[in-house]
Amino acid sequence: MPVDPDVRAQVKASLALLQEVAPGRAVEVRIPPYAAVQAVPGPTHRRGTPSAVVETDAQTWLALADGSLAWAQAVASGRVRASGERADLSPWLPLADRNLTK
């Protein structure tokens, strides 16, 4: 499946905003094939398999970021795979509610 440059830009921008509102390196957030970042306060992950991982597709991530999909609903439906003690991103979502600009 080809990578859509517009979707890539939206994913990267929203992940950068997540890093602003939830600074840290405790959770690796993966949106393949577009991007992955580390965010959320807590123990810093440096190498190997992270202790907390969130992974989803781009459309689900963007829906979470803009508030059109709730975190609990996304996890319950299996659209988001979240593992680890700090993998609950609900305190920082939706990102659309944040008054931060780049």
CA dist 80 and 5 (Å) reads 22
User: Per-residue pLDDT tens for 47-93?
Assistant: 667 789 999 999 999 999 999 999 999 999 999 999 998 999 999 99
User: Per-residue pLDDT tens for 2-37?
Assistant: 789 999 999 999 999 999 999 999 999 999 999 999
Edge-to-edge order in the sheet of strand 80-83: 35-39, 27-31, 53-56, 80-83
pLDDT computed for residue 100 by the predictor? 46
| Topology of the domain covering 5-97 | Nonspecific Lipid-transfer Protein; Chain A (3.30.1050)
Q: Which amino acid is at 71?
A: W
